[in-house]
Every structure is written in C-alpha cells, then in structure tokens.
Chains A and B, each alone.
Chain A
Amino acid sequence: MHDDPAVSVSGLFKSYAGVPAVRGISFDIAPGETFALLGPNGAGKTSTIEILEGYRKRTAGHVNVLGFDPGENCREFRECIGLVLQSTALEPELTVIETVTAFSQFYPEPLRVEGLLKTVGLADRRDNRVRTLSGGQQRRLEIALGLIGNPEVVFLDEPTTGLDPDARAGVWHLIRKLSQKGKTVILSSHHMEEVEALAHRLAILVAGKICASGTVADLLHEFGGHSRFSFWWPFDQLPYNLPPALGSLHHGHDNWVSFSVAEPGKALVQLTGWAHHYGVNLDSLTITKPTLEDIYLSLTGARQKSGGPDR
C-alpha cells in the first residue's frame, strides 16, 4: 500500500494517575483496512481507541488519524470520524428517527436517515422512544449514529456486545460493506469469529502491550504450529505408552482425549499403529488446525489460569 496510513500509532503510552494502562504500542492502519484489537478485560483497548477518538489525552507517544492529531480534537477531525463507544449513550426520551436526524445535522454530508435505519434493521422502530428499545436494538441505533456522518474512519468499541446472532451477522455485513467502500475500521472485540470474519489485520493486547499482530494467517503460522488430535476414550483406561509423536497429553474432558501435535504426519502414523495394537477405537477422531482462539488463549494465559477443560 502506497498511501499514508489512515491511522498511525507509535510508542503510545497512557497511564491513569501513574498506573500504566497502555505501555508503548505501535501500529499503522492503511486506508480501507479493517483492524481489530483483541485482549482481555483491562488490556487497554478502550484506552487506545479513545485516545485515537480524541477523548483521552495520551501520556506519551505519537498518534495520527487522517493527518490530524486527535488530541487537538478539532471540528474537521470529528467530521471525518464515526464512533461507537463501549457503553451505550443515548437520550432515552427521543425516538429512533429523532435521534438519528439530530446526529445527521452535525455532519456536512450525512447519509440518508431512512436508508440507514433500514440497513441497521430499525426501520420498523423508527417512531419508538429509545428507552423502549431492547439492549441490542439500542446498540444498533448507536451503530447507526456512528455511521450517519459517512466517516472515513470508524471506531467500533465492542460493537456487537449484546446483539443476537442475526443482528450480529447484520453488523458484520455492514462492516464488510464499509470496508468495500474503502472506509477504515478499527474494531475491538472479544469474539474471535468476528475478528476472523472481518479483520484484515489484528493486534492482541495484553496488559497494555501488543504481544502479537498481523493477519489471522500470520498469527496462525507464527504461534499456531500445533495441530490438535482428539478422540473419545475413557480417560483412566488409556494405555500408558503413548506414541512419542503425539507429544504431551492434554487433560481430557468427559472422556475426550486430546493432544497438541507438532508433526501431524508422523503422529498420525504412530497413532494408528498404537491404536491398532491396544485396541483403542479412536472414536470420533478429529484433527483440527489451531484456531485464533487457541492462539489467543495461549498468549493471554487464560488457559492456565482458568483451569477449564481443554478442547
């Protein structure tokens, strides 16, 4: 890509009353790209996004959005960004159409209100008061407000929390269309499938630092070298001398046994011989590639901490 990045962040630090929340992160987002920020609660996603939106002051580092310094928060800057905040912020006593119309008046070249309501699936609620909408409907209204100004760069802080699968699919569709129109999207999310479906590139943020970034394929290649073998067998009746290429046994769950395997070809040969020898049936044997979620969990350390079942 030859253009200047739409968003560029370098050496960004943010601390609250001396407590660091973002500790020196850098990334660039090209125009038209959809970029996702992943990370556990408190990792610093919202802090980063709200610095880029001009809400929060950075402690150190450089940020640039479409050539503007968001810290100056000038009107031209706000005209070309759109945003959805993490927590809902709507006037309960206005109707849906009044809310969107009010916001459309802030922007020089807004989208058509009726059309946008149709896109987010609120056309039939247009005359309802906001307070009578369900949580997911309010979220969709906020997404409409984020898009009404036809912005170049859209910040979406966990846009699909609280949405039903249909609505989520609708929002995904919307984000893809934005991307096709050449808009730059910055998205934070806790849903791996969302990130896999939408993001061209992503960064995983842990305790204020980026511990992995790139395309989904990059991450799978870099961190996800292992395939997962699993099959059904009563865990305590497992023969002891497991084939070496299977590597370490992960604790089973409901008699599911699974292994994280570095060399799947070799392991498969050894596994079948071993199974034949000991009369292990290999019921429901599956070999899966690692998912973004596996990588995410291993990087954020949630797997060890939670002590939950290994899939």
Chain B
Amino acid sequence: MLVKQIQYQLMLFFRRPAALFFVIVMPVVLLALLTQILGNDPIPGQTTTSAQFYTPALAVFGVVTACFTYLAVSTATSRDQGILKRIRGTPLPPSVYMTARIISVTVIALISAALVIASGVIFLDVEMQWDKAVAGLFILVTGGLSFAALGMMVVALCRSSETVQAVVNATLLPLAFLSEIFIRPGRELPDWMIWTADFFPLKHFSVALGNAFKPSLEGYGFTWTDADDAFSVLPEFLILLAWGLFAGVIAVRFFKWDVRL
C-alpha cells in the first residue's frame, strides 16, 4: 500500500513540468551558471575549485527545493483542491498517505542531488570523495527529512497554498544567500548575517555536505572531534535533527486535512 502510494506521488511529480523544472533542472542550471560566471579556479585561500564548492551546495539546494518547497506547495495545493479531505474519507491510513508523500519527495531530492553531483564530476572536474560518500548520503537523507518536516510545518500553519508558496520562497531564498549556497565563503559577512545563518538549519546542511567534498578533510564523518582537519557530519546532523523534530511536532499538532472543517 505504501509502495503504491509512493509510486502515485512520484508519477504526479513527473507530470508537473514546473515542479520538474525547479527541482530537477534548476540546480544543474545554477551550477553551470555560477561556475561559468565565477570561473572554475581554486577558491582564494583554499585548494579547491569553485565547482568543488558549488556542486554540494547546489545539491543541497535541490534537496531543499524538493523536500521543503515542492512538498509544502504540492501538499497545500492538494488540500485546497479537497484531495486531502477526500483521501481522509477512505480507509487508507492517513499516516501511510503522508509517509508516502514524504518518502517520494526524498526520492526526488536524491535524484536531483545525484544529477547535480554527476554533472559536477563529469563536466567540472569535481573530485568525488568516496570515503566520505556514506556520511554525505546520510546527511542528504536526514537533511531532506528535516526540511520535509519544516515544509509540513509551513503547511500546517498556513491556510492556503498561496500563503504557503509565499512563506516558503520568502524563507528559502534569502537564507540560501546567507547559508553558503549561492555565495561561496571568503567574503566577510556582517555578524548578524552569520548569526542568522548559524541559527537556521540550511547552512548546517550545506556545510555538512560541502565538507564531504573537501579533499583536505580526513575521516569517514561519523566521529566526534574538534580537530580542524577532521571530517564529521554529526554536529550538523544534530542541529538538523533538532529542527526536524521541532517542526515535526508543530506540523503534527496543527495539521488539518481541510482548513474549513
């Protein structure tokens, strides 16, 4: 039953050209643009190229577009259309339906991220760090789920899909500029910008995946350490987990299958 529902949700995604464009095509286009504009030379003060930075950053952007933006907007639209209410009137357990929606966006997110990374590796000489890949995949999935929870929180707190769309874009885009996604580090940012970015989960997500692409770091990623040259995704994972749990609790508490009831 769950598998069937996931299939339906995936099928619906692939029938929505606009969603397909923003989630699957856009991150690759941005990767091409940013590396073209900024050149693919080593980042000043670091040994890596800008593609080595932008590939994981835009993979994260794709994941967030799928798990946060697309999940929130599509779910709110289905609610506006009365589809959620209609489903609620069938024997399909509501938890199965919602789980299917969340798993399907996670699958979409992984497809999007895989495309960005593959483009980086094939066209922009990005070096895969295979020893860090497991931790990278782990953070992609957990980060995706955490942002899915945030997306559902937005749906639960807003009444219409228009509002959801506005809230989602107004939060994601500015944060993406502060969170080492569109703008690579190097320039001095004002303190308040850094604090804002450190507070929200997006930067931790992009830093964690970014580290999985840094040749200078050592390790598999699952260690607690303060060493500067050690690779660990665990601190970021904890922050993403905390945000995910917080958002999930609010989403479950306030979610309605039909705002008119």
Contact = CB atoms under 8 A, between A and B. Distances in A.
B15 A106 contact: no
A9 B62 CA distance: 52
B6 to A, nearest CB: 12
Contacts, number: 58
A149 interface: yes
Contact of B90 (A50, A78, A93): A78
Interface string B112-147: 000000000000000000000000000000000000
Contacts of A78: 89-91
Contact of B82 (A79, A85, A94, A107): A85
Given A89-B86, A102-B8, A105-B4, A75 B91 contact: yes
Given A93-B12, A105-B1, A56 B261 contact: yes
Interface residues of A, number: 28
Interface residues of B, number: 21
A83 interface: yes
Contacts of B81: 89-92
A88 interface: yes
A36 to B, nearest CB: 21
A55 B91 contact: no
Provide the main secondary structure of the chain A interface.
loop
Contact of A75 (B85, B86, B93): B93
Contacts of A79: 91
B12 A94 contact: yes
B253 interface: no
B187 interface: no
8 contacts: A55-B88, A85-B82, A88-B82, A90-B86, A105-B4, A107-B90, A107-B91, A108-B91
Interface of B: 1, 4, 8, 11-12, 15-16, 78, 81-83, 85-86, 88-93, 258, 261
